[in-house]
C-alpha cells in the first residue's frame, strides 16, 4: 500500500512538473515572460530539470533582456545537451547583448586533439560505451570458443582483442573526461559591473572590469574571493557574489 502511495506521489510529481512546464510554455506564447519564468523556476525548485526547461527559461530571460540569467540558463542547457543547435544559436544571440567582448584564445596541438576526442561523448556515454565493449567482448569470445571453422575462429580471436582495447580506451576516456568536467568550473558574471582585482582584497587595484553575462572559469577560491580566468587567459580575483557557478 505504501509503495503504491509512493509511486502515486512520484507519478503526480512528474505530471505536476510537466504541467508547470506547459503552463510556462503557454505564458511564453502569450508573451508573459515573467509568468513563464516563475513557472519554469518552480519546476526547477521541485528538483526536476531538463535541457529544454533550461532553454525555455533562458529564452524567457532573453525576452526580458536579462542577459546574465539568460546566458546562465543556456549554458546550463548546453551542459545537459551539448549538441543542441537551437541552444547554441540562441546563446549567441544572448552573448551579443553582453558588454564585454572577450577573445577566445584557441587551443592548439596535441592537447587540443585529445580534448576534442574526449568531448565527443559525455563521460556517462563513455562509461556505457565501455560496458558495450565488454559485452561485445563476451560475444566475440563465445564466437571464438564455439566456432568450428578456423578462419572464423581467428577472426573472432582477433576481434576479441580489438574490443578489449576499445573497452580500456573508453574507460580511460570516461575517467579523463570526468576529471576534466569536474575541474572545469564555468561561471557567469551576474553583477552589472564587477571589478576584477589583482589581489583578493577590496583595497587592491582593479585589474579590469567585467559586466554581466560574461563567462568566466573559476580556478581557485579564497574566502569570499574567486580567482577567475577568462577565455583570453587573463586572470584576476572577483568577489564570490558577483558570479554564479554553473556546476
Partner 1 sequence: MKKYIFLLLLSFQGLLAQVQFDASVSKTSLGINERLRVDFTMNEDGDNFSPPAFEGFRVVGGPNQAVSYSWMNGKKSFNKSFSYFLMPLKKGTLVIKQASIEIEGKIYKTAPIKVTITNAVQEEVNPYNPQQKMGEGIHLVAEISKTNPYINEPITVVYKLYVSNTASVRNWREMASPKYNDFWSQNIDIKKLVVENGKYNGEDYRYVVLRKTVLYPQKAGKLEIEPLSLDIEVDLPTGRRDFFGRMEYASGNKTVSAGAKSISVRSLPEAGKPVDFSGAVGDFDFKVTPSKTTLKSGESLDLVVSVSGKGNLKLFNLPKPVVPSALEMYDPEHKEKVNTPLSGMQGEITDTYTIIPQYKGNYQIKPMVFSYFDWSANAYKTITSKEIMVNVLDGPMPTSGDPQVASAEGKQNVVANDQFQFIKLKTNLTAVAQKDFLGSGFFYSLLLAPFLIIPVIVLAKKKKEAIDGDVAGNKIRQSNKLAKKFLSEANKQLGSKEAFYVAMEKALHNFLKAKLHIETSEMSKENIRELLLSKKAAPDTVQNFIALMDSCEFARYTPASVGTMQQDYDKAVTVISGLEKQINN
Residues that bind partner 1 (CB under 8 A): 14, 17-18, 21, 25, 28, 43-44, 47-53, 55-56, 59-60, 62, 65, 85-86, 88-90, 92-93, 95-101, 123-124, 126-128, 130-131, 134-135, 137-138, 141-142, 145-146, 167, 171, 174-175, 178, 192, 211
Question: Minimum Å distance from CB 44 to partner 1?
Answer: 8
Gap between the Cα atoms of 223 and 233, Å rounded: 23
Q: Of 210, 167, 219, 170, which is closest to residue 190 (Cα–Cα)?
A: 210
Nearer to partner 1, 20 or 226 (CB): 20
Gap between the Cα atoms of 120 and 75, Å rounded: 18
Nearer to partner 1, 117 or 135 (CB): 135
Report residue 191: phi and psi, to 5°. Answer: -65, 145
Dihedral angle sign, alpha carbons of residues 215, 221, 227, 233 = negative
Nearer to partner 1, 121 or 227 (CB): 121
Gap between the Cα atoms of 196 and 207, Å rounded: 6
Question: Minimum Å distance from CB 184 to partner 1?
Answer: 16
Nearer to partner 1, 1 or 148 (CB): 148
Question: Minimum Å distance from CB 65 to partner 1?
Answer: 5
Nearer to partner 1, 44 or 155 (CB): 44
- Cell readout for 232 is 583570453
Question: Minimum Å distance from CB 7 to partner 1?
Answer: 15
Question: Minimum Å distance from CB 222 to partner 1?
Answer: 26
Question: Minimum Å distance from CB 55 to partner 1?
Answer: 6
Q: In what order do the strands lie in the sheet with 243-245?
A: 206-211, 193-197, 235-239, 225-229, 215-222, 185-189, 243-245
Evaluate whether 104 touches 234 at the Cβ level (below 8 Å): no
Angle between helix 85-95 and helix 67-80 axes, rounded to 10 deg: 160
Question: Minimum Å distance from CB 23 to partner 1?
Answer: 12
Evaluate whether 75 touches 188 at the Cβ level (below 8 Å): yes
Nearer to partner 1, 100 or 227 (CB): 100
Nearer to partner 1, 227 or 234 (CB): 234
Amino acid at each position: 500500500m505504501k509503495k503504491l502511495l509512493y509511486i502515486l506521489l512520484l507519478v503526480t510529481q512528474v505530471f505536476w512538473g510537466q504541467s508547470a512546464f506547459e503552463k510556462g510554455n503557454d505564458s511564453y506564447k502569450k508573451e508573459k515572460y515573467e509568468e513563464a519564468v516563475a513557472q519554469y523556476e518552480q519546476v526547477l525548485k521541485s528538483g526536476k530539470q531538463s535541457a529544454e526547461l533550461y532553454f525555455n527559461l533562458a529564452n524567457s530571460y532573453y525576452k526580458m533582456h536579462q542577459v546574465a540569467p539568460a546566458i546562465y540558463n543556456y549554458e546550463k542547457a548546453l551542459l545537459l545537451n551539448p549538441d543542441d543547435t537551437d541552444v547554441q544559436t540562441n546563446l549567441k544571440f544572448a552573448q551579443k547583448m553582453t558588454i564585454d567582448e572577450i577573445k577566445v584564445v584557441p587551443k592548439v596541438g596535441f592537447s587540443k586533439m585529445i580534448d576534442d576526442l574526449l568531448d565527443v561523448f559525455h563521460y556517462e556515454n563513455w562509461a556505457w560505451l565501455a560496458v558495450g565493449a565488454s559485452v561485445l567482448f563476451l560475444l566475440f569470445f563465445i564466437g571464438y570458443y564455439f566456432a568450428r571453422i578456423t578462419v572464423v575462429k581467428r577472426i573472432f580471436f582477433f576481434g576479441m582483442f580489438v574490443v578489449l582495447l576499445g573497452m580500456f580506451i573508453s574507460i580511460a576516456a570516461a575517467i579523463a573526461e570526468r576529471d576534466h568536467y569536474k575541474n572545469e568550473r564555468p561561471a557567469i558574471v551576474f553583477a552589472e559591473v564587477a571589478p576584477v582585482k589583482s589581489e583578493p582584497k577590496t583595497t587592491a587595484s582593479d585589474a579590469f572590469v567585467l559586466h554581466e553575462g560574461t563567462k568566466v572559469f573559476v580556478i581557485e577560491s579564497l574566502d569570499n574571493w574567486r580567482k577567475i580566468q577568462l577565455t583570453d587567459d587573463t586572470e584576476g580575483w572577483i568577489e564570490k557574489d558577483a558570479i554564479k557557478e554553473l556546476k
